[in-house]
Structure 1
Amino acid sequence: MSSAHSRSSVDPVARALDAAVARVLDSVIGVEAANPVILIDGQSGAGKTTLARRIVERWPVQGRVQSVALDSLYPGWDGLEAGVEYARGAILMPHARGLIGVWHRWDWVEGARAEASAVDPSLPLIVEGSGLLTPATARLGDVRVWLESPAPERRRRGIARDGETYEPHWNRWAAQEEAHIVRDDPTAHATLVLAVP
C-alpha cells in the first residue's frame, strides 16, 4: 500500500475529495461526450482546486484535459462577479459553440490582463472558482459541482494556502461569495452537491 493511499484513508478531507472525484467521473462518463465541461464552485478553501487537479489526474479517457482556475481571471479582490462573466464570455461560450476560446490571465501585481491562453473546444474542460455556478453559466456545463465545507475549516485552509497575502482580504472576498449564493443559488444549478469536512 502506498503512503498516499494510507494518508487518504485516514485524512477525512482527502477521503471526501477522493469520493468527490469518483462521483464527478461517474457523471462525466454518463455524459457520453468527448469534450464534457465540468464546472466546480464553492466558497474559498472548500477544495475546488484540489478536486480539479485530482479529476485531471484520474481522467477516465486517454488524452488531454484542460483546466482553468478563476483565480487567474478575477480582476482583483473585488472582481468575483466580473471574473465569472469573463470566463463565461471568453471560455465557456466559445467552447459550447465549437470555437477556440482565448483568455488573458489577470496579473494581480500589475492590475491588468497579461498573457493569453487558448481553450480547445474539442477537448474536455474543467473550470473551477468561487461564484462560477450562475443561471448564465449552468447551461454551459455538463457536470456542475457545488462543494460544501464548514467556514472555519475553509478559512484555515485558505489562509494556510495563501498566507498573509489573503488574510487582509478574506472578509471582503467572503462577502462577494455570500452575495453570489443569495443572488445565484448555486446549489440549485449543481448536478452534484458534495461535502468536504
Structure 2
Amino acid sequence: MDGGGWAVELARLVQAAEGGPAGNRLVTVDGFSGAGKSTLAARLAQVLDAPLLTLEEIYPGWDGLAVSPALARRWIGDPLAGGSTLRWCTWDWDRDAPGPWRSLDPAPAVVLEGCGAGARVLTPVTSLSVWVDTSAEQRERRLHAREDWAGYAPFRARWSEQERALAATEHSPERADVVLDNTAVPI
C-alpha cells in the first residue's frame, strides 16, 4: 500500500478493535531502532486524529529499556483503559535524570510508539499492536542519517543489546497483530 493507504487500513483495524473497559483504544507501534516507527506512528495518529505518545519520553535513561513497558502500562495503558487521565514522568536526556510530569485526558484512541511498546505487559490494555519491520542494514543506514546520530552513536551498541534482549522475551513480530514491512513503505 503506497501513498499512506496502509495508515487508512490500520485506522480501520483500530476502529474495529475492541476497546478497553472505558471504550478507549491503545495502539502500540513497536520495532527496532531505525525501523521507522516514529514516522509511521505519526502518520497513523494523524489519520486516527489521535494523540501520539512516545516511549522515548519514558525510558529512564540509556539502560532503562527493560523497565519502560511496565511504566507505560502503569502511566498510560491502565489509565486509558479505565478512562482516566494519563500521567507520566518524562526523562530529561540532557541531564540524564527524571524530567517533568505530563498528562493527557483519555482520548478514544492513543498511539504509543517505541521499542518495547508491544511488550507482553501492555498486551491486556492494547487494542491493536503493530510491529514495524525493516532489515538490519536499512535500520543502520537510517540511524546514521538521523539528525541526532552524533548523540546516539556512543550508546548504540548498549541500546541494541537491550532491544535484542527485550525482543527475545517480550516483543517480536510474531506477537504483533499487524506486521508492517517498512522496506516497501516510503517514509
Bin of the TM-score, shorter chain as denominator length = 0.7 to 0.9
Moved more, 134-143 or 27-36: 27-36
Q: What is residue 36 of structure 2 aligned with on the other side?
A: 47
Q: Deviations over 1:119-140 (max 9, x none)?
A: 2224321100002212211121
Q: What is residue 17 of structure 2 aligned with on the other side?
A: 31
Give the distance between the partners of 2:67 and 2:75, measured in 1 at CA: 12
* Aligned residue runs from structure 1 range 3-152, under 5 A: 15=2, 18-31=4-17, 35-59=24-48, 65-152=50-137
Equivalent AA in structure 2 for residue 69 of structure 1: T
Gap regions ≥5 residues in structure 2:
none
Q: Is the CA contact 1:101–1:120 (under 8 Å) kept in the aligned structure 2?
A: yes
Of 142, 149, 172 in structure 2, the residue corresponding to residue 163 of structure 1 is: 149
Q: What is residue 180 of structure 2 aligned with on the other side?
A: 194
Q: Is the CA contact 2:25–2:81 (under 8 Å) kept in the aligned structure 1?
A: no
Which structure carries more helix by proportion?
1
Equivalent AA in structure 2 for residue 42 of structure 1: G
Give the distance between the partners of 2:92 and 2:143, measured in 1 at CA: 20
Give the distance between the partners of 2:101 and 2:26, measured in 1 at CA: 21
Q: Is the CA contact 1:95–1:119 (under 8 Å) kept in the aligned structure 2?
A: no
How much has 1:185 moved relative to structure 2? Answer: 4.2
Percent identity of equivalent pairs? 32
Q: Deviations over 1:61-113 (max 9, x none)?
A: xxx52211111111111111122221111111111122212112100111222
Pairing 1:177–2:160 present:
no
Equivalent AA in structure 2 for residue 174 of structure 1: S
The DSSP-based 3-state class of the residue aligned with 1:58 is helix
The DSSP-based 3-state class of the residue aligned with 1:193 is strand
Q: Is the CA contact 2:129–2:177 (under 8 Å) kept in the aligned structure 1?
A: yes
The DSSP-based 3-state class of the residue aligned with 2:125 is coil
Which of the two has higher C-alpha Rg? 1
TM-score, normalised on structure 2?
0.87
Give the distance between the partners of 1:26 and 1:163, measured in 2 at CA: 35
Q: Deviations over 1:169-193 (max 9, x none)?
A: 1111111111111112433431101
CA separation of 1:140 and 1:188: change in aligned 2, threshold 3 A: farther
TM-score, normalised on structure 1?
0.83
Gap regions ≥5 residues in structure 1:
1-13
Equivalent AA in structure 1 for residue 4 of structure 2: D
